[in-house]
Chains A and B, each alone.
Chain A
Amino acid sequence: MKTLRILLWAAVLIASGLFGLFGYQLTQPRDEFVQSALVGQEIPPFDLPAATASRPGLTSADLADGSPKLLNVFASWCVPCAAEAPQLEALEREGAQIVAVAIRDRTEDVDRFLELYGNPFTRIGRDDISEVQLAIGSSGVPETFVIAGDGTITYQHIGDIRPEHVPELLEELRKAGA
């Protein structure tokens, strides 16, 4: 009988502990971000046509040419992508090589976007059905990946790049061998 009593008290303790945990989790902000599980792995092979006449398209081989790069996933219809444009310009001024994938976008819209917000990209691939986005584990726009010179994904930044993220990304680029 005594063991039963102890077991019942243990059950009460476990239950209250669980409710405490639920209560705590309910007060925590929800994490909406889905991290790519491909960080640390090689970029999957892909070959995208050019999204605009002013820049060539993008293949996975371009990302494994020996020098580390930023891979920006953006779209002209995405508002935060316009907001992060000055930060991409700043990264380019600091010497970062930036290539991009335009998601579900038309050439004329990409052209207008680049004219309005600047063009820090050396290459822009056109991904009409989000195939490269899905292949690299990106779940939205904008996202920015750091790719080492051998084509390994070393870092993923989700959401728009704010001014405070610029040094972080430069540091990640340096770690990737820039």
Chain B
Amino acid sequence: MKTVLTALLALFCAAIFAAPVAAQDTMPPAPYAYQQLDDPALEEAARVLMETLRCLKCQSQSIADSDAPMAGDMRHQVRSRIQAGETPDEVRDWLVERYGDYVSYDPQVSATTWPLFVVPLLLVLFGGLMFWRRVGRKGESA
């Protein structure tokens, strides 16, 4: 019994100090992964954009929230493109051209997304029509 416990304890200690096999590189981050732009207005534009772009490695996070190396590389692309004078919409379009609407958290009207914008409008119209008919009828009977 005692040897089993000792063995378990040893295993436990080994597990604590074992380095996890991380599928990650040891390279330094891209220049603009963690470095803000010098111009506060440009940095603000980049930050707002980065919060609406999906990290491709960690798909429930924005690239602003993620520490994944690939998110850092995407932030570098965003900041250096904005630094070079591209507008946030141009940078977003550049990524959407490559990864589809999926990469953007800010839905744009497109051939596949238009129902998202049209259906709520139709529902409001339908609700309004129902309301108008009921109220209108009450008005008649009174």
Residues of chain A at the chain B interface (Cβ within 8 Å): 7, 32, 34-38, 75, 77-79, 103-106, 128-131, 133-137, 139-140
Contacts and interface: CB of A to CB of B under 8 A. Distances in A.
Given A32-B59, A104-B69, A129 B76 contact: yes
B82 interface: no
A78 B23 CA distance: 5
Contact of A130 (B23, B73, B102): B73
Contacts of A129: 30-31, 73, 76
B26 A79 contact: no
B57 A135 contact: no
A72 B23 CA distance: 18
Interface residues on B, range: 20 to 34
Contact of B99 (A36, A104, A105, A128): A36
Nearest to A128: B27
B64 interface: no
Interface of B: 21, 23-27, 30-31, 56-57, 59, 69-70, 73-74, 76-77, 95-100, 102-103, 130
Nearest to A127: B73
A14 to B, nearest CB: 11
A106 B27 CA distance: 7
A96 B29 CA distance: 34
A77 B77 contact: no
Nearest to A139: B56
B25 A104 contact: yes
Given A37-B98, A38-B98, A134 B23 contact: no
Nearest to A102: B25
21 contacts: A34-B56, A34-B59, A34-B99, A37-B97, A37-B98, A38-B97, A38-B98, A79-B21, A104-B27, A104-B69, A104-B73, A105-B25, A106-B27, A130-B70, A131-B77, A133-B70, A134-B98, A135-B98, A137-B98, A137-B99, A139-B99
Nearest to B27: A104
Contacts of B97: 37-38, 137
A135 B95 CA distance: 8
Nearest to A134: B77
Given A129-B31, A130-B30, A137-B97, 7 more contacts: A7-B130, A34-B99, A34-B103, A104-B27, A129-B30, A133-B73, A134-B74
A128 B28 CA distance: 9
Contacts of A140: 56-57, 70
A36 B57 contact: no
Contacts of B27: 104-106, 128
Given A35-B100, A36-B98, A139-B99, A106 B26 contact: yes
